[in-house]
Structure 1
Amino acid sequence: MPAPDAISSEQLARLLGTPKAPVILDVRRDAVRAGDPRQLPTAVAIPESDVSPHYLARIAAETAQPIVVVCAEGHRLSQGTAAWLRHEGAQAEYLLGGQVGWAAAGLPLIDPRKITARDAQGRSVWVTRSRPKIDRIACPWLIRRFIDPQAVFLFVAPAEVPGVAERFGAVPFDITDVTFSHRGDLCSFDVFLLEFGLSTPALNRLAQIVRGADTGRLDLAPECAGLLAALLGLSRMYSDDLAQLDAEMTLFDAFYRWARDATDERHNWPNQNGKPA
């Protein structure tokens, strides 16, 4: 049973990728982080010098969501930081076993060095072609839910993506000749999973559906056609790309939860008792 004010790796993993995910603060010592720069998905790295009462008071005041604090093994750094955040009024827990325990459980760690563009507020910045349909919605969903919840997305004319990336320091994706784009039979969503080490059964299942919908291979999974129909319909409901992305986040949240929790559930009518299910 978890200790008071603690959360297990299994419990935290169930929250990640959902709208209820907490803010994750990585307070490992600088030397430890230098030796292993990987971090939990969506974690924000806090330099050693910033782990101070004044800084933590500001974090508590600015953060409405629950907070989970992670250090190397779940000892004094994370427990003390979480305790101070609670003192300042935040809802804060520490991760039992720390990052070592998370890794031992076989849960994914991402390399933040893959993000090569951030703004003055520390948000990652991404740019792609306007009028998104499938991959260009799926990838931002993945980024927001598993990489950087505060990520900024710029949608511009296809010919302008390289220039905007250079001028505004953004990472281009889903265009030719860039890291985060199609590779052979894989779509951009697949490549994000590979590059960030986000292979989980649920995300791999979702990736197959996205790949089929995005590349016209609707036979890859029965759900491909449904996802394609929903996304094409939504794309015609919105003229603003960011408003469309906001609306479709919920759709991908639902597909992810199905892929993680509900693939074996079946419904029929009538049921075995002769009554509607």
Structure 2
Amino acid sequence: MPSTNAITADKLARLVATPRGPAIIDIRAPADFDALPKLIPGAVRRGIAELEHWPGSPVLLVCGDGRAASQGAAAWLRQAGTPAEVLEGGMSAWIAAGQPTIDTAALPPRDAAGRTLWVTRARPKVDRIACPWLIRRFVDPQAQFLFVPAPDVLGVAERMAATPFDIQAGGLQWTHYGERCTFDAMVEGFGLTGFAPLERLATIVRGADTGCPDLAPEAPGLLAISLGLSRAYADDLEHLEAGLLVYDALYRWCRDATGETHDWASHTPATKRVPA
């Protein structure tokens, strides 16, 4: 049983990549982080002193072992009015449980506010919505995205120190290669290969994005929804926000519901704190 105000690695795994989960904050000391430079998906790095200005939304703190550092910081946040819990056993327990991690060596530089900035072609369809979803849910919850005319992507990337993705240009890390799409490149590049729900989702995205609908029965449906959204929204940022909900739902299906079929029984979600 976890201690008071702590949750287990298995329970946290159910919250990762869900839009209403707590903010996951890695507060390991620099030496501890350097010894294991990986993050729980969706986590951000912050020093304990930086938590003083946290906005008050629920947080989940991660230290090396789930003891003094995170327990003390969580107690301090709670007395300041911010709901806070810790990961039982810390990063060590997460790794021991075989849960996925983000390879921080693949992360682009962050701006002064600690965010990553990305740029791609305007009028997104499949990959250019799927990739921002992956980044927001698994890599950087605060990531910002710029949609610009295709000929201007590399120029904007240089001028604004943004990371370009899903464009045809030599030497780019985040783009198509062979029969695989940019979403595949990000799943692999961020170290998430082998995480079954994302592998399943990647196959669907690849089928919809590369003209190979036979790769997955769901691929034609995703393509239809993506094309419909591109026509429903003239503003790319509004389109992105709507598209995030589509991928939230599709990810949850990949994670939890692939064996479920339509019937007359209602599905009752679990509590907000621990999604089903």
TM-score (normalizing by structure 2): 0.92
Shift of 1:227: 0.4
Where 1:69 maps in the other structure, the secondary structure is strand
1:147 paired to 2:143 = no
Q: Which amino acid aligns with 2:125?
A: K
Which runs of no fewer than 5 residues in structure 1 stay unpaired?
Answer: 270-277
Cα contact 2:41–2:139 (8 A) shared by 1: yes
Cα contact 1:127–1:165 (8 A) shared by 2: yes
Q: Cα RMSD over matched residues?
A: 1.3
Pick from 192, 197, 219: which aligns with 1:198?
192
Deviations 1:158-194 (A, max 9, x none): 1111110000000110112210111111110011010
Where 1:116 maps in the other structure, the secondary structure is coil
Shift of 1:267: 2.5
Where 2:100 maps in the other structure, the secondary structure is coil
1:221 paired to 2:213 = no
Residues matched between the structures, number: 261
Where 1:24 maps in the other structure, the secondary structure is strand
In structure 1, C-alpha distance between the alignment counterparts of 2:157 and 2:56, rounded to whole Å? 30
Query: After TM superposition, where is structure 1 displaced by more than 3 Å over at least 4 residues in a row?
Result: none
Cα contact 1:118–1:169 (8 A) shared by 2: no
Query: Which residue of structure 2 aligns with residue 63 of structure 1?
Result: 56
Cα contact 1:56–1:84 (8 A) shared by 2: no
Deviations 1:192-213 (A, max 9, x none): 0101112311111000000000
Shift of 1:116: 2.0
In structure 1, C-alpha distance between the alignment counterparts of 2:262 and 2:103, rounded to whole Å? 41
In structure 2, C-alpha distance between the alignment counterparts of 1:208 and 1:131, rounded to whole Å? 22
Shift of 1:2: 1.9
Where 1:153 maps in the other structure, the secondary structure is strand
Kindly report which structure 2 residues correspond to 1:118-197, keeping only aligned pairs within 5 A, or say none. Answer: 118-176=110-168, 177=170, 178-197=172-191
Which runs of no fewer than 5 residues in structure 2 stay unpaired?
Answer: 265-276
In structure 2, C-alpha distance between the alignment counterparts of 1:99 and 1:228, rounded to whole Å? 38
Shift of 1:268: 5.9
Shift of 1:72: 0.7
Cα contact 2:17–2:41 (8 A) shared by 1: no
Query: Which residue of structure 2 aligns with residue 275 of structure 1?
Result: none
Cα contact 1:182–1:191 (8 A) shared by 2: yes
In structure 1, C-alpha distance between the alignment counterparts of 2:66 and 2:218, rounded to whole Å? 40
TM-score (normalizing by structure 1): 0.91
Once structures 1 and 2 are overlaid, which stretch shifts more, 18-27 or 228-237?
18-27
Q: Percent identity?
A: 54
Which protein shows a greater Rg?
Answer: 1
In structure 1, C-alpha distance between the alignment counterparts of 2:56 and 2:219, rounded to whole Å? 37
